[in-house]
A and B are shown apart, each in its own frame.
Chain A
Amino acid sequence: MSKSKEEYIRRDGRKVDELRPYSIRTGIFKNADGSAEIRLGGNWIVAAVYGPKEHFPKFQISQDEAILNCRYHMAPYSTSERKSPKPSRREIELSKVIKSALEKAVLLEAFPEMSIDVYIEVLQAEGSTRVASITAASVALADAGIPMRDMVVGCSAGKVDGHIILDVGEYEDKEGEADLPIAIMPNLKKIVLLQMDGKLTHSEFREAFELALKGAMQLYEAQVNALVSKVKEMGEIEEAEE
C-alpha cells in the first residue's frame, strides 16, 4: 500500500514536493538577440530569440501586432533512442502550445508588421521538457530586450504510485498515473499553458495544481536571478556620472 505523503520517497530520491536540481543562464549565444539555457534534472534546453524583425513573406504580416514564431525541437541525441531531426507531430503541437503561452506575455502590439522568432532546442530530454522550454524561452525574450507584461514560467505536477508529486521526471511520466504541465505569468497570476493527461479526482487535481504553482514560483526566482546576475557582471550599479 502507498505510504503517507511525508515518507514517500521517489525513485530518484526526491520528496513529493521537491524539484529536481535546476539552473538557468542567459546570454549564452553570441549571434542571437537573446538567449538562455535551462538545466532541470537531466533536461538540457537552450532557447534563442531573433527579432523583432521584418516579417516574411510580406502577405502574411499582421498590421496590428508582431507575429511570434516558435519552434520546439529535439536534437537527435537528446533521447536514449535516436530521434529523427525532422519535426514530429509531438514537436509541432508543443511548438504551438508554447507559442500560445508566450504570446500572452509579449507586447506584440509594440511591433506591428514585425516578427519575433523563438527557437527552443532540447539537447537532452528527461521529462517535463515543454514547461522547462517555456521557462528558458521567456528568459531569452527578456534578454533580447523584448517588452513583456510578465515573465512566463512553467512547471509540472503529476501522480505516481497514488501520490501527487511535483516536477514529473522521465520515469514518472512513463509510469505515472497523471501528468499536469502548466505555465503561468507569475505577477499577473494568469495561466497560459495547461495540459493534462491521466486520471485525477477533483481534489487531487487541486493539490497537483497548487504544487505545480509552488514549483513555478521557485523557478521564477531562478529566472530573476539569472537576469539580475547578468547585469551585475557589468559592474556595481552606479548610474550617476562622477
Chain B
Amino acid sequence: MRDLRKRTLSDILRIKQVSKFIRENKRMDGRKLDEYRDIEIKTGVVKKAYGSAYVSLGDTIVIAGIHFETGTPFSDTPDQGILITEGEFLPTASFYAEPGPPTEEEIELSRVVDRGIRESEMIDLSKLVITPGEKVLKLFIDFNILNDDGNLVDAAMLAAVSALLTTKYPNPEKVAELENDRAELKDVERIPLPIRDIPMTVTIGIINNRYIVDPTLPEEIAADALLSVTHTKNDEICAMQLLRGELDYNQLFEILNIVLEKNKELRELVLSKVGGG
C-alpha cells in the first residue's frame, strides 16, 4: 500500500504535497481536517439483488449487493443463519488493482466490514433459520470498489449497511414449504430483513500529529497511522482495526472522541438518505 514503486507520477505528486498542506491545517481539496467529502448514497441500484447500494465518497466509489442461498447451519450455531462478507477491488479501481485472487488488503477490508456488521448484531440471524439444525439462509454481502480514492473502509461499510437496510429477504417459513429451493428461492415472498442495529465506521488518519477524517488515497499513504472504529447506534464501540502505523496511548483516546462525534453525523446522513433504524 505504501510502496511508492507501484504508484503513478500523479499519485506521488499528490502524496508529496499532503504534509505540506496539513502543516498549515489545510487539505489539498480545501476540506477541514475533520470534514467528510461529499457522500452520495443510492439504494436499489441492482434490481437482481435482494438489496443493493451505490456509495460515492468523493472519488471513491463502492457498490454492495445482497444475496441469499440456502445451506446447512454451523454445528455450534444450529439456530442461526449464516453471514458471509466478500469484498473485492474491481480492476477498474486503480492502476495497481489487478484481477486475480483477493489480496491481503482486500481480505482485511472484507473482514473489517464483516466484523462491524456481525459484532453490532445488526441482523437478527435467528430469523434466517428454515429448519433448526438443518437448513438456514446464507446471507451474502458482496461489495466492490469501482474507483479507489481512499477511505475504503468507511465507504464499504456505508454501502453494506445501506444495502442491508433496504433488503427484503425470502420469508423462511415460505422457504420451508418449497420442495426444490435453490431455483425457486428468488420467487418466494419477501419480507424486510430483521434489523437490530446500524453500525457506522469512521476512519481517522494521523499526519504530522494531526487527526484527519476521511483520508483520500494520498493522505492514507502519507499517514503515520490509520485507525477504523465502528460504533453501534447506542454509541458502544463494536469493532476496531489499526489498519497501519502506531499510536500513543493518549492519541487513541483523542481519536475516539473525534470518531464519536463524526459517527453521529454519518448515522444521521444514512438515516435521512436510506431510512431504517
Q: Which residues of chain A have a CB within 8 Å of any CB of chain B?
A: 29-32, 35, 42, 44, 46-48, 50, 71, 73, 75-82, 85, 87, 117, 119, 121, 123-126
* Smallest CB separation, B141 vs chain A (Å): 9
Closest partner residue, chain A, to B84 (CB atom): A82
A85 vs B66: C-alpha distance in the bound complex, in angstroms? 14
Q: Are B67 and A29 in contact (CB under 8 A)?
A: no
B residues 133-152 in Cβ contact with A at 8 Å? 140, 142, 144, 146-149
Q: Does A48 lie within 8 Å of B91, measured CB to CB?
A: yes
Cα distance A30–B10 in the bound complex, in angstroms: 12
Residue of B nearest to A47 (CB): B92
Give every chain B residue within 8 A of A75 (Cβ-Cβ). Answer: 46, 63, 65, 90, 142, 144
Of B48, B59, B140, B148, the contact of A79 (CB 8 Å cutoff): B48
Which are the 8 A-B pairs with shortest beta-carbon distances?
A: A77-B65, A48-B92, A82-B67, A76-B142, A77-B49, A119-B91, A30-B59, A29-B147
For window 40-68 of B, CB contacts with A under 8 Å fall at 45-49, 52, 59, 61, 63-68
| 8 A Cβ contacts from B58-91 to A | 59, 61, 63-69, 86, 88, 90-91
Question: Are B48 and A77 in touch, CB under 8 angstroms?
Answer: yes
Decide: A71 and B91 in contact? CB cutoff 8 A.
yes
Which of B24-32, B93-101, B193-201, B202-210 forms contacts with chain A? B93-101
Given A32-B92, A77-B66: A119 touches B99 (CB 8 Å cut-off): yes
Q: How far is the CA of A46 from the CA of B90 in the complex (A)?
A: 11
Residues of B within 8 A of A73 (CB): 90, 99
Q: Which residue of A lies closest to B88 (CB)?
A: A85
Contact (Cβ within 8 A) A82 B146? no
CB-defined A-B contacts under 8 Å, sample of 7: A46-B92, A85-B86, A117-B91, A119-B92, A119-B99, A124-B47, A124-B48
Given the known inter-chain contacts A31-B147, A46-B146, A78-B48, please indicate yes or no for A123 contacting B63, CB distance below 8 A: yes
Contact pick for A77, options B52, B91, B99, CB 8 Å: B52
Taking the complex as formed, is B186 at the interface, i.e. its CB lies under 8 A from any CB of chain A? yes
Chain B contacts for A80, CB-based, 8 A? 48, 186
Q: Of A35, A42, A78, which contacts B92 at CB under 8 A?
A: A35
Across-interface contacts of A47 in B (CB, < 8 A) = 92
- In the complex, besides A35-B92, A71-B99, 17 extra interface pairs with C-beta distance below 8 angstroms are A29-B92, A30-B149, A31-B92, A31-B94, A42-B48, A50-B95, A73-B90, A75-B46, A75-B65, A77-B52, A77-B63, A77-B64, A77-B66, A79-B48, A81-B69, A81-B182, A126-B48
From A44, which residue of chain B is reached at the shortest CB distance? B46
Which chain A residues border B46 with CB–CB below 8 Å? Answer: 44, 75, 77-78, 123-124
Specify the main secondary structure of chain A where it touches its partner: loop
With the chains together, A32 CA to B89 CA distance in Å? Answer: 13
Q: Given that A29-B61, A30-B59, A44-B46 are known contacts, is A76 also in contact with B90, CB under 8 Å in the complex? A: no
A-B contact count (CB 8 A): 90
Q: Are A121 and B67 in contact (CB under 8 A)?
A: no
A222 to B239, CA, bound (A): 47
B64 cross-chain contacts in A, Cβ below 8 A: 77
Bound-state CA distance A29–B186 (Å) is 32
Q: Least Cβ distance of A199 to chain B in Å?
A: 26
User: What A residues does B48 contact at CB under 8 A?
Assistant: 42, 77-80, 124-126
Alpha-carbon distance between A29 and B92 when the two chains are bound, in angstroms: 8
User: Which residues of the other chain, A, contact B140 by a CB distance below 8 angstroms?
Assistant: 76, 82
* CB closest chain-B residue, reference A32: B92
CA distance A119 to B69 in the complex (A): 28
**From A30, A50, A81, A125, contact of B67 by CB (8 A):** A81
Give every chain B residue within 8 A of A48 (Cβ-Cβ): 91-92
Q: Which residues 102-156 of B sit at the A interface, judged by CB distance below 8 A?
A: 140, 142, 144, 146-149
Query: Chain B contacts of A76 at CB under 8 A?
Result: 65, 67, 86, 140, 142
Chain B's closest residue to A117 (CB) is: B91
Among B52, B64, B69, B90: residue with most chain A CB under 10 A: B90
Smallest Cβ-Cβ distance to A170: which chain B residue: B48
Q: Which residue of B lies closest to A120 (CB)?
A: B92
- Tell me the complex Cα distance, A35–B47, Å: 23
CA distance A73 to B151 in the complex (A): 25
What chain B residues lie within 8 Å of A32 (beta carbons)? 92, 147
Instruction: Tell which of A71, A80, A119, A123 has the most Cβ of chain B within 10 Å.
Output: A123
